A and B are shown apart, each in its own frame.
Chain A
Amino acid sequence: MAGLKNPKTFFVSGGMSGIGKAFALEYVRRGADVAIFDLVLDDGVLKELQDARKNKSRQIVAFKSSVTDAGQLTGSVKQAVEAIGVPELAINCAGVQRAQPFAELPREDFELVVQVNLFGSRNFAAAVLPHMQQGGRLVLVASMAGFAANYSYAAYSASKFGVIGLGKVLRLECKPRGIDVGLICPPEVDTPMVVEEAKHMHPVSRRLKDLGGSLSLEEAMQGIFAGLDAGNSVIIPGTKAKMTYLCNRYLPDFIMNTVVDKIVQSELKKMASDPVSANRSR
């Protein structure tokens, strides 16, 4: 597929920061017309994208649009199609995280996470797919937490497991139309979302996330683009993350569960014996 590496048109949600912005920048550099959908539009980011163009006739259009509003997003996508044409590559990147042990996690937080991450993926897919043509590609950004559970991630894991389920079904359903559907499952990546989370992360989550590794945005994007350019359907950037994925797949549940439970219990014990520093780290 000629358009695989250098799509002529690229649509991305959550394109104003983090991984979404990195996608937008790279595809702008590769010469695509780009459409961005995000809650807040940042003029600085738009300027940066415009400056990154090699050919100044390429277009960058941005829409203030929430992935949680199916109607609004569908409308914005339609306008984007009118402006720059149908998407050859579309990536849903908008996501949010609220982490707390289940008993303490407010219902509103749980709902928000599922609304943005799962319904957001649904709404984005439903908005772009009808426009997409043979050779097109839809990619959903899930997470490592979408195949490996993590302490205090009830809402996030539920939403991201859901995204993976949705992605797998979409892959089967879109194939006959010649549209590929892919999933990206990054570990912790140094983005604004994660920086925000780190301020009050549960020590047990911290310890477990270290197993999956932490990547700088550059490292993560390198791995992600390698996978995207090769046309892989499941993309997991980072060596530690890949290892975690393989362990989850090939180790029997009882071994994985025993190991994880031991780590959780030892961290909880540490917290109990040293509540001051545990509180500080939260």
Chain B
Amino acid sequence: MRKRVYITGGSSGIGLGLAQYYAKMGCDIILMARNQEKLDAAVSACNSVAVNSGQVIKGESLDITDYHSLAVAMDKVVSRDGAPDLLILCAGVAGNQRFLDTTADEFDRIVDINLAGSREVVRAVLPCMLQRRSGQVAFVSSMAGLIGLYGYGAYSASKFAVTGLAQVLRQELAGSGVRVHLICPPEVNTPMIAAESAQGVPQTRFLKDLVGTMEIDVAAKKIARGISKHQAVIIPGIRASIMAWTARHFPELFARSSQWLLRWKFGQQY
């Protein structure tokens, strides 16, 4: 039996990286994203690395913020292609803005896509996974879902929320046969990040450069390894792991050093 992998946000960035990784491993891949053109390109990118001719690689155009049509589309995919062995929730948007520059609508949009989008996909797919009593659900949160970074008010709120949702689900699904993984990547060299860096907040850039940027294929490999080892929380990269460890064990020290670093670089009124 070939492993079947569903990936939301699979047409670019980490999602596409993971899709190509699993295509190379000989898995069936169902990519989900909004933009049909990018989806087609992603499907052919996966096809080009597929290892055997019987491998199913498909794209499904859907909008995870449109709950009704999402549920219908998911039902269709599940009955056509079968329940996933691995569901990767990778669709997301960034938003690098100071809190007071972020409008209520913008905040709403970011939380809607990152939190509600993942939630609705899980709601649609989980029943068939539970029925088979097997499978893995991987939430792609972020380092910003573990630590607070300057310029990430809405983004951190949304990703912390994803972290919380994943942890509750892990607890509720323990023993059900379905495993839940939380993935917290540092900055990965993706189109989302390129767009952000162009108009982002310099303070955020400075702090993020301390952790460094990862290439997509490196991140995908590390994430896939964590998933295959059944790790509950997956933080790809040494520098990111150290950062997360420090923030978790010494939160006050972490917050104060962030302030200190910002003052050192940008002055008292950073």
Binding site for B on A (CB under 8 A): 70, 101-103, 107, 110-111, 114, 118-119, 122-123, 125-126, 129-130, 145-146, 149-154, 157-173, 175-176, 233-234, 249-250, 253-254, 257, 260-261, 264-265, 268
CA distance A210 to B269 in the complex (A): 45
Cβ contact of B163, chosen from A151, A161, A249, cutoff 8 A: A161
Check A114 against B165 for contact (C-beta < 8 Å): no
CA distance A51 to B90 in the complex (A): 55
Ordered by A's residue number, 7 sampled pairs between the chains whose C-beta atoms are within 8 Å are: A102-B172, A149-B167, A168-B156, A176-B268, A176-B269, A253-B232, A265-B175
Check B150 against A172 for contact (C-beta < 8 Å): yes
Check B174 against A265 for contact (C-beta < 8 Å): yes
With A101-B172, A103-B127, A173-B153 known as contacts, the answer to whether A165 contacts B148 (CB < 8 A) is yes
Shortest CB–CB separation between residue B64 and chain A, in angstroms? Answer: 13
Shortest CB–CB separation between residue A71 and chain B, in angstroms? Answer: 8
Check B171 against A264 for contact (C-beta < 8 Å): yes
Shortest CB–CB separation between residue B35 and chain A, in angstroms? Answer: 25
Check A162 against B111 for contact (C-beta < 8 Å): yes
CA distance A175 to B261 in the complex (A): 13
Cβ contact of A126, chosen from B104, B163, B270, cutoff 8 A: B104
Question: B160 — which chain A residues lie within 8 A by C-beta?
Answer: 161-162, 164-166
With A169-B152, A233-B252 known as contacts, the answer to whether A158 contacts B162 (CB < 8 A) is yes
Check B99 against A125 for contact (C-beta < 8 Å): yes
Binding site for A on B (CB under 8 A): 67, 98-100, 104, 107-108, 111, 115-116, 119-120, 122-123, 126-127, 130, 144-145, 147-154, 156-165, 167-172, 174-175, 232-233, 248-249, 251-252, 255, 258-259, 262, 268-270
Shortest CB–CB separation between residue B128 and chain A, in angstroms? Answer: 12
Question: A172 — which chain B residues lie within 8 A by C-beta?
Answer: 148-150, 255, 258-259, 262
Check A170 against B164 for contact (C-beta < 8 Å): no
Closest 3 pairs (CB-CB, A-B): A168-B148, A165-B160, A161-B164
With A151-B168, A265-B174 known as contacts, the answer to whether A129 contacts B100 (CB < 8 A) is yes
Question: B111 — which chain A residues lie within 8 A by C-beta?
Answer: 114, 118-119, 162
Check A166 against B168 for contact (C-beta < 8 Å): no
Check A162 against B148 for contact (C-beta < 8 Å): no
With A157-B165, A158-B162 known as contacts, the answer to whether A169 contacts B251 (CB < 8 A) is no
Contacts A160-B164, A161-B163, A166-B99 supplied; 5 other A-B pairs, CB < 8 Å: A122-B154, A173-B151, A234-B252, A249-B249, A253-B232
**Which residue on A lies nearest to B167, using beta carbons?**
A149
Check B99 against A169 for contact (C-beta < 8 Å): yes
CA distance A137 to B162 in the complex (A): 28
Consensus secondary structure, chain A interface: helix
Cβ contact of B164, chosen from A123, A149, A260, cutoff 8 A: A149
CA distance A254 to B232 in the complex (A): 8
Check B161 against A161 for contact (C-beta < 8 Å): yes
Question: A125 — which chain B residues lie within 8 A by C-beta?
Answer: 99
What is the number of contacts between chain A and chain B, taking CB atoms within 8 Å?
166
Check B174 against A264 for contact (C-beta < 8 Å): yes
CA distance A171 to B149 in the complex (A): 10
Shortest CB–CB separation between residue B161 and chain A, in angstroms? Answer: 4
Check B171 against A261 for contact (C-beta < 8 Å): yes
Shortest CB–CB separation between residue B260 and chain A, in angstroms? Answer: 10
CA distance A164 to B145 in the complex (A): 10
Shortest CB–CB separation between residue A75 and chain B, in angstroms? Answer: 13
CA distance A101 to B269 in the complex (A): 46
CA distance A107 to B67 in the complex (A): 10
Check A162 against B150 for contact (C-beta < 8 Å): no
Check A162 against B232 for contact (C-beta < 8 Å): no
With A102-B169, A176-B268 known as contacts, the answer to whether A168 contacts B147 (CB < 8 A) is yes
Question: B175 — which chain A residues lie within 8 A by C-beta?
Answer: 261, 264-265, 268
Cβ contact of B168, chosen from A102, A169, A234, A253, cutoff 8 A: A102
CA distance A225 to B188 in the complex (A): 42
Shortest CB–CB separation between residue A106 and chain B, in angstroms? Answer: 10
Shortest CB–CB separation between residue B232 and chain A, in angstroms? Answer: 6
Check B115 against A260 for contact (C-beta < 8 Å): no
CA distance A171 to B252 in the complex (A): 11
Shortest CB–CB separation between residue B157 and chain A, in angstroms? Answer: 4
Question: A162 — which chain B residues lie within 8 A by C-beta?
Answer: 111, 115, 157-158, 160-161, 164
Question: B107 — which chain A residues lie within 8 A by C-beta?
Answer: 119, 122
Cβ contact of B172, chosen from A114, A152, A164, cutoff 8 A: A152
Question: B165 — which chain A residues lie within 8 A by C-beta?
Answer: 154, 157-158, 161
Residue of B120, B147, B171 with highest tally of chain A CB at under 10 A: B171
Check B248 against A171 for contact (C-beta < 8 Å): no
Question: B98 — which chain A residues lie within 8 A by C-beta?
Answer: 173
CA distance A119 to B144 in the complex (A): 18
